[in-house]
Structure 1
């Protein structure tokens, strides 16, 4: 039995699907029967909790035609929809140069959210689970923090072998019955952060390429641009709110959130620049 984490909007079924957004949740809604099962009365999603949807039909994949697919290309999965922390206050770790949560309570809340999701997977007897870089990108959660939180939830203090894109299998004492966990992470920089957090002894890197490589590259570029544009829009909105904030404490809080978003934007630019440089170097070698 395969189950997937839908990294969901806390406010609206399908997130921005009806407005043409293309994040993970919207992509799921485009390719499956998930959206009709996400009823308005389920929202707002609980802070620590989720919506469980069994037997969701997958009828479209990257490899299948956009217009039709054969019955062999269709299958059923279970989906757990849960929302990650939005725009937490972050800062730069002086030792690593990477983003981290300012408040320990945010880190604890993220772990509580992950444990709640895993408990549902386990209770519903999922054998294989697909997770992701939950809340990274537009929601402003540092990818290193999220990766380490997943490691803590999945492995705890034990060190049993795990598989991944990432694939991770849990210590029997923690998540008995779950045989395999896959971290489906499109962005290379984020995937590397997961590998660094778990270590090679716990994480097996699997580079699954589906369809035309150039086409995928274009899709990834479009997704990265969409995420960058969304972060930029949030930054503009926050700056306006800061200018209009009547209370100094409110203003200080908004400025802290803005600093985290600016760092997230900077990280996106840095990763993009590195990838462009690596690509140019490969072309020079050829």
Structure 2
């Protein structure tokens, strides 16, 4: 390993058969499918916090992703809706390097996302810009350089604006395929919103809202339908069919705003939600 400005960083990860491997970073980025690996180290449990480590069920991969905080879950929601993201993992790799004094340093980014073009994002999800202090800032500089060498990106993702976070949490409860509805229902939902119209009006035009609304929310999550997510969702919000097919990136709605994401709810093991029990509930970010 060379110093933090050198090129010989090393990667530590747990391979698919459970063995800990240490490998040159330049080799690992070419050969290792980090999106398929388990965490190289567990997310910490902090006594007294209302949040603890859990699992996020990804609509992108159909698998669970290890998650350690409310801000990280919010960023997983954003990436899980991004059509360019094809793989997600929590803490799959540790980067090792030597600092200017020759001491070995390490950092485990919280989040890994694989893009459709084969590139990747390593990210941390701090609760506020100064989280982690000077050590986190120094590590960010090293990670940026290491990722740039690989043609990847490293980012410290800013917490979501509260309304966007609440809207995404609501729609995420319907991300599972079980909420898509019958094929004819899914097609009817898209057709009824071919022109913009209020959400409840379109749902009632298709049929019983108890059956139709889960399909509408599922389509909104996956981008088959669109509506502004920077204002609270409510029954009169205007909805229209999506311009393209597939999931839509939430970044177009200002997902990297500066306000903190809500941390009021603990991660469920599945996290995919139960549409039948949610349809009559009230949306914390709007009028449901």
TM range (shorter): under 0.3
- Larger radius of gyration between Structure 1 and Structure 2: 2
Give TM-score, length-normalised by structure 2: 0.27
Structure with the higher helix share, 1 or 2? 1
- Tell me: higher relative CO, structure 1 or 2? Use CA pairs within 8 A at least 6 residues apart: 2
- 1 or 2, which has the higher strand percentage? 2
